[in-house]
Chain A
Amino acid sequence: MSVAVRFPTVLRPATGGRATVAAEGATVGEVFGDLIRQHPDLKTQLLTDEGQLHRHLNVFLNDDDIRYLGKLDAKVGDSDTLTLMPAVAGGA
């Protein structure tokens, strides 16, 4: 499966400036693995040392947050798009 992965500006230095990268995989975790093979600098941006999704990263499979679809085990298909966005938070 080849899916399109969209990156926010803050992550583009790790993709050589590219906003969209095509990657292979049947699950989000496999797609992330392929992305990291293509762009090794993404590893620490996407995953924790334990291999889990960073909590300050939101990942959407088309319109849905993958946290509700099985996280890294969420299945992806050929015409799907993954959109990565930083979590935006703070406080007084």
Chain B
Amino acid sequence: MSNGTVATVLLIGKKLLTEMVAHALQEYPLEACGLLAGTVGEAGHAEVASVQATGNAARSARVYEVEPKAMLRADREAEASGRQLIGVYHSHTHTDARPSPTDIGQAPDPDWHYVLVSLRDVHPSVRSWNIRDGKIEEEPVVLQW
């Protein structure tokens, strides 16, 4: 499990990263969101095994809310595969890939990985963060080919 003293890393395959960015572009100008399932190693290194795009129940360009039933399904699928939900991704359509005060205030789990896809610039950017006790810390995203 990760904690405040261990530097974490997010390992993700090129195809899954592409899926997240494609979903963000598809939903533009609304914010897109989805869940990450995978495994977490001893050193807090999380490996994403699957990405589940979910609906944004808020249907908004400014806020997102993962559809609760989609989350229930994603959780069951992860458990059936011997994995767990390890994080969430969402898009920022007009700001950078950094958690907003709302993201920080509503972060549901200190052990999760919070991936931001920014569509502010011509080229989308993807960054991953830990959010604990109101503080954010960026973690490296290691692309697996």
Contact = CB atoms under 8 A, between A and B. Distances in A.
Given A10-B110, A63-B72, A88 B88 contact: yes
Given A9-B84, A65-B68, 18 more contacts: A8-B85, A8-B109, A9-B109, A10-B108, A58-B71, A60-B68, A60-B69, A63-B72, A87-B66, A87-B106, A87-B108, A89-B58, A90-B100, A90-B106, A91-B60, A91-B64, A91-B102, A92-B63
Interface residues of A, number: 17
A9 to B, nearest CB: 7
Interface in B72-112: 72, 75, 84-85, 88, 90, 92-95, 99-100, 102-103, 106-111
Interface in B11-52: 31, 33, 35
A90 B64 contact: yes
B69 A65 contact: yes
17 contacts: A8-B85, A8-B109, A10-B108, A10-B110, A58-B71, A60-B72, A63-B72, A83-B72, A86-B109, A87-B65, A88-B35, A88-B88, A89-B58, A90-B63, A90-B107, A91-B62, A92-B63
Interface of B: 31, 33, 35, 58, 60-66, 68-69, 71-72, 75, 84-85, 88, 90, 92-95, 99-100, 102-103, 106-111
Given A10-B111, A86-B108, A92 B62 contact: yes
Interface string A50-92: 0000001010100101000000000000000001011111111
Nearest to A90: B103
